[in-house]
Structure 1
Amino acid sequence: MTSPIRITPDITRAPAELVDRFRQYPVANLGDAMDRIGIVEAGITPMWDGAAAVGSALPLLTVAGDNLALIEVLDLIQPGDFIAVNAAGYTDRAVMGDNLAQRFQAFGAVGAVVDGAARDRDIIRDFAFPVWSRGISPAGPFKHGPGTIGSPIALGGVVVNAGDIIAADSDGVIVVPRDRAEEVLAGAAEIARIEAEKDEEAAQFRAAAQARTA
């Protein structure tokens, strides 16, 4: 029987050394360096406090409440992949829980972001797999398809292509197009430098204020 999941051949990945360079910057700095575009809608939030991940986007498209594409992607995951799922923004039926999260982690994925719902939040937190989702629902998924793996998707209002860089932390999720990676890294470095100077100025101001009141 032919699978209803269409898979793009030769899925593109960002080089690991390029992805690693993004790990030093928070999403807020990267967003500023991207002229504040490419940031996923604020309704998509981390499932547990302290979650953070950076990886090469592996995009999936599925119909609302169905996770057949998420099951079939298990055969395709490579270390460093960041699973990005357009699940139609549907939040009344989870398309992933701890079972898939553990397998994603075991096969080398660094995290998952779901424009839809997930479940088993406490278990996923306990084994520290980073997941961002639009909602939480205990209702389990159907497994019929259709769907796609590796083709461009929309994710919280942002286009995601295979091999784009996804960075996510407590503030949210950003997608950096592969062809803008070097530009964004340079911008983030300059923003980090400026912010460090401002932090130093603020520290000096606080110290002076404390000295006046001592």
Structure 2
Amino acid sequence: MTIRNTPLPEDLYRRLSDLPAPNVGDVLDRLYVLEAAVSAVWKGARVVGPAFTVMTAGGDNKYIHEAIDTAQPGDVLVIDGQAATHRALLGDLMARRAQARGLAGFVVDGAIRDAADLEELAFPTWARAVTPAGPYRNGPGHLQVPVSVGRVVVNPGDVIVGDDDGVAVIQRHRLEEIVAAAEEKAASEARARSQIAAL
């Protein structure tokens, strides 16, 4: 039986949605930030939501299809594709299905395709590469297990914060603490900008 994620409390979701990923990463001691190779597929993408994790063989998307059908609205599919970039794990049609089911976005340690279509859909997506080469659909794979994405361990239900600068991962039990600290970091930077502007 697949583990279901607990939705984010509305207040914490709203507050996180106002925070840049760099501020979140800073208060995570800069340790839970995906490496730069996993980057936004289109400019302006932003996501906040609990991680629904997928481990799959490189270049194979059988379990990603299952995840789209299993995850709950608001979940972010976080896909450990073994950092393989020779075949795209997903594209336009899978994004349309995910969007129709209310999923919040994709974070893929692997390749995707149909980048322009994903931008037109405004479906938030981060990936290691873009390639036209399609995937296999044989497996193996697992859902809702700890995965390694962009050199960061992500557990089911961890909170994903992504924007143009990249993706930060908040361990669920630290959520309130990290949101409060990131808000203070953002406020401190706003004060610094005001001081610089007054010079």
Q: Report TM bin, short chain.
A: over 0.9
Among 156, 177, 184, the alignment partner of 1:190 is: 184
Among 6, 9, 26, the alignment partner of 1:13 is: 6
Counterparts of 2:67 and 2:29, CA distance in 1: 33
Partner-residue secondary structure (3-state), 2:198: helix
Counterparts of 1:20 and 1:157, CA distance in 2: 28
Structure 1 residues 81 and 124: CA distance shift in structure 2, 3 A? same
Among 113, 117, 134, the alignment partner of 1:119 is: 113
User: How much has 1:190 moved relative to structure 2?
Assistant: 1.2
Counterparts of 1:141 and 1:25, CA distance in 2: 35
Stretches of structure 1 lacking an aligned partner (at least 5 in a row)? 1-7, 206-214
Counterparts of 2:172 and 2:29, CA distance in 1: 16
Superposition CA RMSD, Å: 1.1
User: How much has 1:16 moved relative to structure 2?
Assistant: 4.0
Partner-residue secondary structure (3-state), 2:119: helix
Counterparts of 1:123 and 1:91, CA distance in 2: 19
Counterparts of 1:9 and 1:138, CA distance in 2: 31
Give the number of aligned pairs.
Answer: 198
Structure 1 residues 112-121 or 66-75, which shifts more?
66-75
1:138-174 deviations in whole A, cap 9, x for unaligned? Answer: 0000000010011111111111111110000000001
1:111-162 deviations in whole A, cap 9, x for unaligned? Answer: 1010000000011111110100000010000000010011111111111111
Among 51, 58, 67, the alignment partner of 2:61 is: 67
Structure 1 residues 18-27 or 54-63, which shifts more?
18-27
Residue 208 of structure 1 corresponds to which residue in structure 2? none
Preserved contact between residue 8 and residue 49 of structure 2 (Cα < 8 Å): no
Preserved contact between residue 64 and residue 90 of structure 1 (Cα < 8 Å): yes
1:59-82 deviations in whole A, cap 9, x for unaligned? Answer: 000001000001111221211100
1:3-28 deviations in whole A, cap 9, x for unaligned? Answer: xxxxx533233424233331111000
Residue 36 of structure 1 corresponds to which residue in structure 2? 30
Which residues of 2 match residues 54-203 of structure 1 at below 5 A?
Answer: 54-203=48-197
Amino acid at match of 1:96: L
Question: Which protein shows a greater Rg?
Answer: 1
Residue 46 of structure 1 corresponds to which residue in structure 2? 40
Q: Which runs of 4+ in 1 moved over 2 A?
A: 8-16, 18-21
Partner-residue secondary structure (3-state), 1:159: strand
1:24-78 deviations in whole A, cap 9, x for unaligned? Answer: 1100000111111100011001111111111110000000100000111122121
Stretches of structure 2 lacking an aligned partner (at least 5 in a row)? none
Counterparts of 1:19 and 1:177, CA distance in 2: 14
